[in-house]
């Protein structure tokens, strides 16, 4: 690793990148953990520009380099972040106070180097790891809550949900974190709320949900960005959610879809060829939820992570359990825990 002189650290000295070559400098930076980039940015102007303007993260994407950190909220306006690669907790600034974010009914997604949090009103807050700060973000063309979402690289897809009048939506939108713009997409075949989204095999999937008259949907829909069309997959989400339960708890690792049956605390895998769910095993014993609410189930790189905690009358503890799918029944490893509220309101995984 290149070490800057005192003059360079002040931003007034020589040009490190010019001295050893831009390509070699960037190759060195790409091999670093992104947890080191804050220190790197303090070395000189060139490194600071690479990090703060997001160029280093764009190059990481181009070179298929990424680290996945988990962001979750167990208290109103407060977020925690965890780096499973180095077993480190990262401090996240508190969200700006706003009455529409004071309730627990929020949506969140991570895309590119941003964490987006959506309130009940037409307000979005955007956290950037480039500046380590929150700002008010751009609203959708059709603002909504209770939608399904998924991201890939710097793009995020959202679909379904309800508008401010409670109407259940079939519309969908695409968000570009580089331009901060929302673009309408073609609508799904069926309107739905309380649904979940994943990205798999190069396509966006919306799974489960509830439609008008509180009818539980057992189908999913697949969006093909090339043809800009949706395809209904009947029975894709059968048994994964109910009217009063949480949206389906689903996650994708290596283009394989996994789901949690929160009523039985079972872990299942989706058989794409036969359109059915296969029982794999159980969740961690101390994973507790209220009809699926308060428990997070996410893909984090090549592993599945369950975030939750036991219900206690004194204090609270949040636990992160991890399993790397290996074709065998799941054996969960407790990778981290800390004192915190034990009800997970929101959770997102940022890979960059």
Three-state DSSP state, 29: helix
Token readout for 217 is 């949907």
Mean pLDDT of 136-152: 96
Does 291 or 197 have the greater pLDDT score?
Answer: 197
pLDDT at 143: 95
Is the distance from CB of 292 to CB of 241 less than 8 angstroms? yes
Residues 6+ apart with CB under 8 A from 326: none
The residue whose two tokens read 């399904």 is: 148
Residue 342 has a pLDDT of 80
Mean pLDDT is lowest, of 91-100, 143-152, 289-298, for: 91-100
pLDDT-based confidence at residue 8 (cuts at 50, 70, 90): very low
Mean pLDDT confidence for 50-72? 94
Per-residue pLDDT tens digits for 62-72 = 999 999 999 99
Cβ count within 10 A of residue 175 = 25
Q: Bridge partners of 128? A: 114, 133
Rounded average pLDDT over 204-233: 97
| 209 burial type by CB count under 10 A (0-12 exposed, 13-18 middle, 19+ buried) | buried
Model-wide pTM > 0.85: yes
Cβ atoms of 74 and 344 closer than 8 Å: yes
Give the integer Cα–Cα distance in Å for 19 and 202: 41
Q: Is the pLDDT of residue 344 over 80?
A: yes
Q: What is the mean pLDDT of the chain?
A: 90
Q: Where are the alpha helices (DSSP H) in the chain?
A: 6-9, 16-20, 22-30, 37-41, 45-52, 55-62
pLDDT at 142 over 60: yes
Phi, psi of 103 (to 5 degrees): -90, 170
What pLDDT is attached to residue 84?
A: 96
- Encoded tokens for 276: 């059915």
Backbone phi and psi for residue 147, each to the nearest 5 degrees, phi listed first: -100, 170
Whole-number Å distance between alpha carbons of 135 and 312: 35
What pLDDT score does 24 carry? Answer: 84
Q: Please, which pLDDT band fits residue 313 given cuts at 50, 70 and 90? A: low
pLDDT tens-digit readout, 18-31 = 556 678 888 888 98
Q: Is 9 a residue whose pLDDT tops 70?
A: no
Structure tokens at 59: 């190059």
- Does residue 269 carry a pLDDT above 50? yes
Q: Strand order of the sheet with strand 155-159?
A: 148-152, 155-159, 172-176, 181-185
Rounded to whole angstroms, how far apart are CA atoms 174 and 180? 10
What is the rounded average pLDDT of the residues 175-200? 98
CA distance 42 to 3: 11
Report whether pLDDT(234) > 60: yes
- Assign residue 105 a region: left if phi > 0, alpha if psi is -120 to 50, beta otherwise? beta
Long-range contacts of 269-277 (CB under 8 A, 24+ apart): 269/325, 270/236, 275/233, 275/234, 275/235, 275/236, 276/235, 277/238, 277/239
Higher pLDDT, 183 or 13: 183
pLDDT at 204: 99
> What pLDDT is recorded for position 6?
32
Q: Average of pLDDT values for 79-99? A: 93
The answer, yes or no, to whether residue 43 has pLDDT greater than 90, is no
Q: Following DSSP, what letter does each residue of 221-244 receive, concatenated?
A: EEEETTTTEEEEETTTTTTS--SS
Mean pLDDT of 138-158: 97
List the one residue out of 80, 112, 90 whose CA is nearest residue 36. Answer: 90
Encoded tokens for 24: 């070699």
pLDDT at 232: 99
Instruction: Identify the residue with better confidence: 239 or 225.
Output: 225
By percentage, how much of the chain surpasses pLDDT 90? Answer: 73
Strand partners, 334: 321
pLDDT range class, residue 198, cuts 50, 70, 90? very high
- Tell me the mean pLDDT in the region 66-82: 95
Phi, psi angle pair for 34, to nearest 5°: -70, -10
Q: Quick one: average pLDDT of 237-264? A: 92
């Amino acid at each position: 690793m290149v070490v800057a002189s005192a003059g360079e650290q002040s931003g007034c000295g020589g040009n490190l990148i010019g001295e050893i070559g831009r390509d070699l400098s960037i190759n060195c930076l790409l091999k670093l953990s992104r947890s080191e980039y804050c220190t790197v940015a303090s070395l000189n102007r060139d490194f600071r520009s690479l990090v703060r303007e997001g160029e280093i993260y764009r190059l990481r994407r181009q070179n298929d380099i990424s680290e996945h950190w988990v962001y979750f909220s167990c208290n109103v306006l407060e977020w925690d972040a965890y780096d499973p690669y180095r077993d480190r907790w990262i401090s996240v600034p508190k969200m700006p106070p706003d009455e529409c974010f004071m309730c627990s009914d929020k949506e969140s997604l991570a895309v590119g180097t941003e964490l987006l949090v959506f309130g009940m009103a037409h307000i979005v807050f955007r956290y950037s790891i480039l500046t380590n700060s929150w700002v008010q973000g751009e609203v959708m063309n059709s603002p909504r809550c209770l939608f399904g979402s998924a991201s890939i690289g710097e793009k995020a897809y959202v679909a379904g949900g309800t508008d401010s009048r409670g109407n259940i939506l079939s519309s969908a939108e695409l968000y570009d974190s580089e331009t901060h713009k929302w673009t309408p997409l073609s609508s799904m075949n069926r309107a739905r709320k309380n649904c979940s989204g994943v990205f798999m095999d190069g396509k966006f999937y919306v799974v489960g949900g509830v439609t008008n008259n509180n009818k539980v949907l057992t189908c999913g829909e697949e969006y093909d960005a090339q043809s800009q069309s949706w395809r209904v997959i009947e029975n894709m989400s059968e048994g994964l959610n109910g009217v009063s339960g949480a949206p389906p708890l689903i996650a994708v690792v290596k283009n394989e879809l996994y789901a949690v049956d929160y009523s039985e605390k079972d872990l299942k895998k989706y058989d794409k060829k036969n359109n059915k769910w296969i029982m794999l095993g159980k969740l961690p014993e101390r994973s507790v939820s209220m009809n699926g609410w308060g428990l997070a189930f996410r893909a984090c790189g090549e592993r599945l992570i369950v975030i939750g905690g036991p219900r206690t009358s004194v204090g609270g503890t949040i636990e992160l359990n991890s399993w790397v799918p290996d074709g065998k029944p799941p054996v969960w490893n407790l990778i981290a825990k800390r004192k915190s509220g034990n009800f997970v309101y929101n959770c997102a995984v940022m890979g960059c």
